[in-house]
Structure formats: C-alpha cells, structure tokens
C-alpha cells in the first residue's frame, strides 16, 4: 500500500469522470503562518499544535487536538458557551462502551481538561437546542435537560421517539433539528434488498419491504415525548444510508450525502469487474424534499456515465435506465465508496469569505485498493463551494492525512466522521478510529 503506483491512462480518464465534483485544493501545509494582524481570530484563541495534530490543512489554517483516545467518536454538538458533546458508539463486540462524552476547556488552552460521560448506550446522532441535548442511540432518540452552567444533566433522558430499527446493516441514526421538526436518518438493513443479502446473483425483492420503515429520512416533532417510529412520519424515501445529513441555514432546506451500495462485482461478476466495483456507484449529494424518491435499491448512480441506472438485482446490466428515469438525481457526486458520514454548512465568520455559506463533508474512507481508485481512498474532509442554493464548481480537499501511512479501514490511524461549528466559527472534526477530536482555526496568511 505504501509503494507508488503508476495509473493507466484509461483508468485516470474514468476517475476524472467519476470524480466530476473534484478539484485540487491549495497545497496543504502542516505549519500555518501567523501574520502580524491575524484575520478572523482574537488574542484569546488557544495556540494550535505544532504539527496540527498530524493532519494537513490549507495555508492559513491550523488545528489543536481537543481530546484523544476517547473511543468511537461520532457526531458532535455544542452549547452556546462552547461545551462540546460527542456521541460515542459502542463496539460490536462490547469491549468499547458508548454514551455521551462532555468536554470543557476550563483554562483556554484549547484542550478539554474536564471530561465527563453519561448515557448507557452507544449512538451516533446528537444535537443541541433550547437547553436540551438530543442523542440517538441506535433504536431511539432521547433528550437530556442541561442547565446553562452545567456540563452534564442532573437527571435521565426523556424518550422522544422509540421503536427505530437497530438490526442488520446501517443502524446509526443522525439527528437534524429545524424549529419544531426533528429529522432522523434511518438507514437500510441490507446492501441492495436482495432475497439473500450480499449473495451472488440473488434477485432484489420488488417492492423492497424495507422502505416503509427504513432507507429514508423521517420527520418527528422535536418537543413531543413518547412518539413511536412509523411509516406515517416518513419524509423522503429510497435513501440507502444518509448518516451525513444537515440543514442549510441559508435556505432552510435539508441536504444529505448518501453512502452508495457495494458489491457490484462480488455479487454480479458476469456484469462488472473489479475496476467497476471500485469506481461505482458515485456517492451522491441530494437536496432532500418531502415525498421524493431517490432510487435505492432499484437504482444506483453511475458517476462515470453521469446517469442513474437500474441495479442488477432488478434487471439492470450497467446500462439500462428503466424506472430510474423517474428518481431524483444528485446535485453533486463524489468518488465511490468514500463513505460520507458527516456534513456541515459553514455559517461562521472566523474562516475567510471563500468558505462562508459553503459545505464541509467528512469522508470515512474507502476499503478499495487505491490502485483502482485514482481519486484516492478518501479519509479526508472536503469543502464544497456554494452559491444560490447549490454547489458551485468542484470539491476541494480541506483536511487530509488522517489515515497516516496505511489508508485502509483497518490500517488507518484516524477516520473522519463528523463536523461541528463552534460559537466562534472554528471547526471541530471527530474520528472514530483513533478517538481524536480536532478544532480548526484560521490564523491568516492563506486564502
């Protein structure tokens, strides 16, 4: 994995098509210059780490490690006073416990010297609103009341929604709050809704029986205790796994980046080869509207051909479009299998104007051999310029080198998961491999 690979010209051309959202960002640097009159920060900002916590950032940016070795750190939320709450997942074998990690920097050095945990179950989604911390274990959404000066709640949670599916694949729930509404991602229980999941040449079940209760986004009342997961609350359907979900404050609309399907070659070797498997399907960015259908499991998005095509489980051969002509198309796409897990529309003023209103996406990283993915394996945070309620141009790699010398799921040092914006406009990044939380500042001297 560490030796250099010469990419064939034909493969590079395919990657350029598949990566139609990508662009080369400014060369990242580990040392951010500090001008005489820094822009976007104050004298009270904490010092950054000399090596930026071993990640690379664009010129003018630097990072401090807020906490490390905290466990399986997933999504994050902040109180107005800067207290940080991190959803912790639990390992499948039970050796790593989950819950909520509360972090506070009491001396202003950027490090969380006060750390406390609460909650009995692991989870993914977390959000703050009006004195309540919302948290999503895999089968429910609950909330804790926390006093303004307190770091942890004085009592147990209220259950807002129960009965959410937490078996098989894609059990992580994401929470997005919008006034009286709470949006929750409920991922599919399978790869492609086959009769026998992830089995060679097994056909898809038609219609897919998962769709009434999974593979979509649900809308509930944010302040109503005791709701139960129901088809009646489904907001949008045919979304395989939208762990990366965010509200854009500029237009008050919901957006999400989908984790696309797997195993085109593994299960359908007569139609696809290993290269197809690594380049397909593209990860899709959607504007998520009520009542719309986005294609899973019947369709996948071919980033090389820039079209949505019929899945082989439903009679597709890599070219047939069929019923997919009626499904919603993505507004942007990203390299296959990069696994978007978190996203954030930047609404602060600490970063330069170039970033104002734009979208950051955290990619967990690909399991495929980099020789088959010329765009790289992911394991990064990208920035997507945004104007007039849509992406503009192609993405830019913002934070990189999380994986270290072995960019594979098992060998990576760190894997980015989620993003959060501090009250001062700084950017937090979480990692569920090394258990590290970074905080990124702009110090000037860059774009």
Model pTM above 0.85: yes
Q: Which helix (H) or strand (E) holds 143?
A: strand 141-145
Say how many residues make up the chain.
447
The three-state secondary structure class of 395 is: strand
The strands making up 216-221's β-sheet, listed across from edge to edge, are 175-178, 181-186, 216-221, 234-237
- pLDDT at position 246 is 98
Residue 163 backbone zone (phi > 0: left; psi -120 to 50: alpha; other: beta): left
Find the helix or strand (DSSP H, E) in which 11 lies: helix 9-18
pLDDT score of 371: 86
Unique residue bearing structure tokens 């299960």: 267
- Pinpoint the alpha helices (H) of 29-157: none
pLDDT of residue 161: 98
Residues of the chain with pLDDT under 50: 1-43, 447
pLDDT value for 187: 98
- For the domain made up of 9-442, give the CATH fold: Neuraminidase (2.120.10)
* % the chain with pLDDT above 70: 89
pLDDT of 233: 98
pLDDT tens digits for range 347-397? 999 999 999 999 999 999 999 988 899 999 999 999 999 999 999 999 999
Encode 155-190 in three state secondary structure.
Answer: CCCEEEEECCCCCCCCCCCCEEEECCEEEEEECCCC
pLDDT value of residue 38: 31
pLDDT at residue number 44: 65
């Amino acid at each position: 994995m560490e030796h250099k690979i010469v990419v064939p010209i034909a493969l590079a051309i395919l990657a350029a098509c598949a990566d139609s959202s990508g662009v080369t960002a400014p060369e990242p640097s580990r040392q951010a210059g500090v001008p005489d009159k820094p822009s976007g920060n104050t004298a009270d900002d904490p010092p950054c780490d000399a090596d930026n916590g071993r990640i690379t950032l664009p010129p003018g940016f630097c990072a401090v490690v807020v906490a490390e070795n905290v466990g399986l750190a997933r999504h994050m939320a902040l109180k107005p006073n800067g207290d940080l709450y991190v959803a912790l997942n639990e390992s499948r074998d039970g050796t790593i416990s989950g819950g909520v990690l509360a972090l506070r920097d009491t001396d202003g050095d950027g490090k969380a010297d006060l750390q406390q945990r609460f909650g009995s179950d692991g989870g993914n989604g977390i959000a703050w609103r009006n004195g309540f911390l919302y948290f999503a274990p895999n089968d429910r959404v609950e909330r804790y009341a926390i006093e303004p000066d307190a770091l942890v709640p004085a009592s147990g949670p209220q259950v807002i929604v129960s009965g959410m599916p937490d078996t098989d694949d894609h059990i992580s729930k994401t929470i997005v709050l919008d006034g009286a509404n709470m949006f929750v991602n409920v991922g599919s229980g399978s790869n492609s809704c086959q009769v026998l999941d992830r089995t060679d040449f097994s056909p898809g079940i038609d219609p897919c029986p998962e769709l009434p209760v999974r593979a979509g986004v649900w809308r509930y009342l944010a302040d109503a205790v005791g709701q139960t997961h129901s088809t009646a609350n489904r907001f949008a359907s045919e979304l395989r796994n939208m762990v990366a979900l965010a509200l854009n404050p500029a237009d008050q609309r919901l957006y999400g980046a989908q984790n696309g399907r797997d195993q085109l070659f593994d299960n359908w070797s007569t139609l696809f080869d290993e290269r197809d498997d690594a380049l397909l399907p593209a990860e899709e960015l959607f504007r998520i509207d009520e009542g719309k259908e986005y294609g899973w499991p019947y369709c996948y998005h071919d980033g090389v051909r820039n079209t949505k095509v019929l899945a082989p489980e439903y009679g597709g051969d890599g070219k047939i479009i069929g019923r997919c002509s009626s499904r919603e198309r993505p507004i942007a796409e990203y390299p296959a299998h990069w696994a978007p897990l978190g996203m954030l529309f930047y609404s602060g003023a600490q970063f330069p104007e170039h970033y104002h209103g734009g979208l950051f996406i955290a990619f967990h990283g690909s399991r495929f051999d980099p020789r088959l993915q010329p765009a790289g394996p992911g394991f990064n945070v990208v920035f997507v310029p945004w104007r007039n309620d849509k992406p503009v141009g192609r993405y830019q790699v913002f934070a990189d080198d999380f994986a270290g010398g072995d960019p594979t799921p098992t060998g990576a040092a760190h894997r980015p998961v989620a993003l959060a914006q501090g009250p001062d406009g700084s950017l937090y990044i979480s990692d569920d491999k090394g258990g590290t939380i970074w905080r990124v500042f702009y110090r000037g001297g860059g774009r």
